[in-house]
Amino acid sequence: MQKAVVVALGALAILAVVEPSVAAALTAQVASTTETAMTAWRAAVLGIIEGVTEYVPISSTGHLLVASDLLGLGSSKADRGAADTYAIAIQFGAILAVAGLFWKRFRDMILGIFGKSAGGRHLLILLIVAFAPAAVLGFLLDDKIKEVLFSSWTIVFAWFVGGVLILGLERAGKIPHRGEPAEPGRDRLLEITVRQAFIIGLIQCIALWPGTSRSLAAILGALLVGVSMGAAVEFSFLLGFVTLSAASSYAVLKHGDEMVSQFGVVNPLIGLLFAFLAAVISIKWLVTYLQQHSLAIFGWYRIVIAGITAGLIITGALNV
């Protein structure tokens, strides 16, 4: 099994930053299982996994749930709420990464509120419209989703289906094989219509199923309604900022005391810092990569990681 992990992830060298995280998780699993408290290195590992996977279409939630189990965190129902909240809390690191990298967009949206930027106002409206469906559905079904869908096998299924979907849509010519060259003076992001934004928002609701990937749903949704690759990716980043900010704030307000009681304050901050740094690198890499390549690598990765996770479940290394 260890050889399978090394070979599979080695073949996907473009995502090599994920491999140390997986290796660390596997090492923790075969190490002493009596030490299950959050430590600085566990916090750093989870932060890196969050930052690398949040905006790449491979599902941060799926990776964090599996990694948390392998690290021995939240193995009981009593601890699960704190572990889930911790995983959501460190998303603030990824949120800050988008705020820092795309600060000009946020500046324009603020100016748009005061009528000083038509483009900023249009973009703000697009994000509100796209965010609304998932916000309503997530609020109404939050507890039910956690009760029914948060398991290793549902994640494996979502990973596999998402991978097949990417490869199938690309093969059918429904999504582009690479990004488009930049055109001076043209801002494709602002060409997105309110109708397109709403459809993207509806499709993003599918990502409430753990393992699907919010970024995958947003990017594919945008591509399927005619948005260019570059604009689709950037819109997914900005929509992620809004969606993650709301979800993280809600979770911390609801279960933050449980998280602090079990994991303290320092370790979540360590996870947040590493998530921020990893997200900055991940976002910059994704933008550059998709200018010359397709989404296919993520389709193959999802299928491979689904197979690896299924093997861990069957061998008993991962609890269902």
Walk along the chain (320 residues) and give the pLDDT tens digit of each residue.
333 333 333 333 333 333 334 333 333 333 333 344 678 898 899 999 999 999 999 999 899 988 888 887 755 555 566 667 777 778 999 999 999 999 999 999 999 999 999 999 999 999 999 999 999 998 888 778 877 787 889 999 999 999 999 999 999 999 987 777 777 888 999 999 999 999 999 999 999 999 999 999 999 999 999 999 999 999 999 999 999 999 888 878 877 777 777 777 888 899 999 999 999 999 999 999 998 899 999 999 999 999 999 999 999 888 76
State how far Cα 183 lies from the chain centre. Answer: 29
**Angle of CA points 223, 227, 228, to nearest 5°:** 90
Domain count, the chain: 1
Can you tell me the distance from the alpha carbon of 265 to that of 259, in angstroms, rounded to the nearest whole number?
9
- Asked, for residue 109, whether it belongs to a domain, the answer is yes
> What's the predicted TM-score (pTM) here?
0.84
- Asked, for residue 132, whether it belongs to a domain, the answer is yes
- Asked, for residue 296, whether it belongs to a domain, the answer is yes
- Asked, for residue 93, whether it belongs to a domain, the answer is yes
- Asked, for residue 319, whether it belongs to a domain, the answer is no
- Asked, for residue 258, whether it belongs to a domain, the answer is yes
- Structural domain range at position 55: 2-178+186-314
